[in-house]
Amino acid sequence: MAQNLTLNVDGKPYVISVDDPKMPLLYALRDDLGLSNPRFGCGLGQCGACTVHVDGQAVRSCTTPVSLVANRRITTLAGLGTPEKPHPLQTAWIAEQVNQCGYCIHGWIMTSAELLARNPHPTEQEVRDALSDLICRCGTHNAAVKAVLRASKV
């Protein structure tokens, strides 16, 4: 039996009908709301491409049941900043030319944003530790660390 759930995504409420409350949040964001971010990577919560914030915490949306996040604040990369006022990490990512293919960017920036919210001035080792479970096939790990450290100085 379907149930209606309210998702607050990037500051906007959406009501979706869900047949299975265990359905991953990622599917609701992409399929029901039509968002192009976050991305489907591994489907196992291992790569990070699907990372969003739920009430400020970075979570892997591919393994988070949609029923657990109803009526909570969900932020995607698109909601982190705006073109007129980008988040410092978004600006730093461009300045450090981190992206190559860009597929993994959601995980890296959203995880970094949670880190900077908790620890505005991390050491390089703290940044590396926070990002250690993310995957980037292009190998931009060092540039990502530089971008986080740049954003921490803003």
Question: pLDDT tens across 1-54, in order?
Answer: 899 999 999 999 999 999 999 999 999 999 999 999 899 988 998 899 999 999
Q: What is the pLDDT of residue 89?
A: 97
> CA–CA separation, 59 vs 9, rounded Å?
14
Topology of domain 3-79 in CATH is Ubiquitin-like (UB roll) (3.10.20)
Residue 101 has a pLDDT of 84
Please say if the pLDDT value at position 131 is more than 80. Answer: yes
- Residue in the structure block whose two tokens are 């029901």: 32
Per-residue model confidence as pLDDT tens digits over 76-119? 999 999 999 999 999 999 999 998 888 889 999 999 999 999 99
CATH topology for the 81-151 domain: DNA polymerase; domain 1 (1.10.150)
Is residue 97 left, alpha or beta, with left meaning phi > 0 and alpha meaning psi from -120 to 50? left
137/5: higher pLDDT: 5
pTM above 0.85, yes or no: yes
Give the sign of the dihedral formed by CA 95, CA 77, CA 134, CA 100. Answer: negative
How many CA atoms lie within 13 Å of 15's alpha carbon, on the beta-carbon side?
Answer: 3
* 49 vs 42: CA distance, rounded Å: 8
| pLDDT at residue 75, rounded to an integer | 98
Which pLDDT belongs to residue 119?
Answer: 98
According to the model, what pLDDT value does residue 100 have?
Answer: 85
Domain segments of the chain as ranges: 3-79, 81-151
**pLDDT, position 154:** 74
What pLDDT was estimated at residue 139? 84
User: Mean pLDDT in the chain?
Assistant: 95
Tens digits of per-residue pLDDT, 66-75?
Answer: 999 999 999 9
